[in-house]
């Protein structure tokens, strides 16, 4: 797989309608880019969606908007552990909302997370398929309620008959009703481009795609060990591989064009380092790249490392390279600014801004 990744250009298998290439560079140190520090947004699917929420609430001074795709419920829904996490996914009506809201306010006033008032007016896009059997749409409605209570401007999309996947419309995905379709890179062909709808909501004046657009930027692997402070074995292992940054041609290093930065938290069983499916991985990267090229958005992909161990309920999420959404890292700070995973990604963003 390494050989494939490091060849100069990778031929992507983009389903039966389209074929294209993303120019892949050799691994290098993550560099600073000319990005507007007031334009940083995040998104993610499934576990990545929950991480996007955690990250936005934690660093709301920095993060101006979020796209939440089929996440596991509202911020802090897994704070009390695996059972609470499961309840929020399957039985959202059992989530104790007053408890959850109080906790968020407490975290804000004790500075475990940035001032919750920053969410007021921020843009948030939330999507969950009506055929999703992994996450109850009610969980995403709760997420929307929580955001609205703190004044976020939320666009919800609950009418697409998608399974647990990211609705797209260009031939890259599997069937619309697929659940966790790994071989399709979790993209579901639903005649609807949710990635584009998200960006149109997060940014004013998003340039629409034209038919047959192919990515023209560069995908650059970078060493994630730069961002680990060495505090724990668990964490160095989780980020041992490369992360990736997609840079549109207008945003290359030394560009004078001011670009935006968007961070994508990948779902479980993913990351470009995942064994034997780098081509599949790049479907999602291409999906974002189409919009990113036309709108000068640099896209950062931190990658959790897949760990080949036998899975058990409590640690299985880590082993499948999921983000920590219920405390599997054993840190009570996991969903806050001090959480190790969040801290590492924060440092990556600082590097892109030229401050780390």
Ligand X SMILES: *[C@@H]1O[C@H](CO)[C@@H](O)[C@H](O)[C@H]1NC(C)=O
The footprint of ligand X (CB under 6 A) covers 96, 98-99, 102, 120, 150-151, 174-175, 178, 181, 183-184, 229, 231, 338, 340, 343
**Which of 154/340 has CB closer to ligand X?**
340
Query: Which pair of structure tokens corresponds to residue 272?
Result: 């470009």
Q: What is the DSSP string of 81-134?
A: -HHHHHHHHH-GGGS-HHHHHHHHHHHHHTTSSS-GGGGTT-EEEEE--TT-SS
Find the shortest distance in angstroms from Cβ 29 to ligand X: 20
Provide the strand spans (E) within 55-95: 65-69
Q: Is the Cβ of residue 115 or residue 258 nearer to ligand X in the bound state?
A: 115
Closest Cα to residue 208, out of 298, 285, 294? 294
Q: Which residue is nearest to ligand X (CB)?
A: 174
CB 120 to ligand X: min, Å: 4
Eight-class DSSP state of 259: B
Q: In the chain, where do the E strands start and end?
A: 9-14, 18-24, 41-45, 65-69, 123-127, 153-157, 166-168, 174-175, 187-189, 218-223, 242-247, 260-265, 297-301
Q: If residue 348 lies in a helix (H) or strand (E), which one and from where to where?
A: helix 340-352
Q: Supply the minimum distance, in Å, between the C-beta of residue 304 and ligand X.
A: 14
Return the number of the residue (260 or 337) whose C-beta is nearest ligand X: 337
CB of 342 to ligand X, least distance (A): 8
Smallest distance from ligand X to CB 189, Å: 8
Choose between 19 and 102: whose C-beta lies nearer to ligand X. 102
> Which residue's CB is nearer to ligand X, number 171 or number 208?
171
């Amino acid at each position: 797989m390494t050989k494939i990744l490091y060849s100069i250009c990778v031929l992507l298998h983009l389903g039966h309608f389209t074929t294209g290439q993303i120019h892949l560079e050799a691994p290098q140190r993550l560099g600073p880019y000319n990005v507007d520090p007031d334009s940083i947004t995040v998104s993610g699917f499934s576990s990545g969606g929950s991480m996007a929420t955690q990250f936005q609430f934690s660093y709301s001074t920095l993060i101006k908007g979020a796209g939440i795709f089929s996440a596991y419920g509202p911020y802090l829904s897994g704070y009390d552990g695996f059972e609470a996490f499961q309840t929020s996914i399957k039985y959202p009506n059992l989530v104790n909302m007053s408890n959850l809201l109080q906790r968020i306010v407490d975290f804000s006033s004790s500075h475990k997370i940035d001032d919750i008032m920053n969410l007021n007016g921020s843009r948030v896009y939330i999507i969950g398929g009506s055929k999703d059997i992994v996450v109850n749409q009610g969980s995403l409605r709760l997420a929307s309620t929580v955001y609205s209570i703190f004044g976020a401007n939320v666009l919800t999309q609950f009418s697409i008959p998608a399974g647990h996947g990211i609705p797209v419309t260009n031939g890259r995905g599997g069937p619309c009703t697929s659940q966790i379709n790994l071989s399709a890179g979790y993209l579901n062909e639903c005649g609807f481009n949710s990635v584009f709808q998200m960006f149109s909501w997060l940014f004013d004046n998003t340039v629409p795609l034209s038919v047959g657009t192919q990515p023209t930027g560069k995908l650059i692997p970078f060493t994630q060990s730069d961002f680990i402070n060495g505090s724990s074995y668990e964490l160095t292992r989780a980020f041992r591989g490369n992360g990736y940054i997609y840079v549109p041609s207008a945003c290359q290093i030394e560009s004078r064009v001011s670009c935006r930065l968007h961070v994508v938290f990948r779902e479980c069983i993913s990351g470009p380092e995942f064994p034997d499916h780098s081509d599949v991985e790049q479907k999602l990267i291409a999906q974002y790249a189409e919009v990113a090229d036309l709108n000068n958005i640099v896209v950062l992909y931190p990658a959790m490392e897949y760990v080949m161990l036998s899975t058990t309920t409590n640690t299985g999420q880590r082993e499948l390279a999921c983000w920590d959404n219920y405390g599997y890292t054993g840190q009570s700070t996991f969903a806050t600014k001090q959480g190790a995973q969040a801290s590492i990604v924060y440092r990556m963003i600082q590097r892109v801004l030229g401050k780390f």
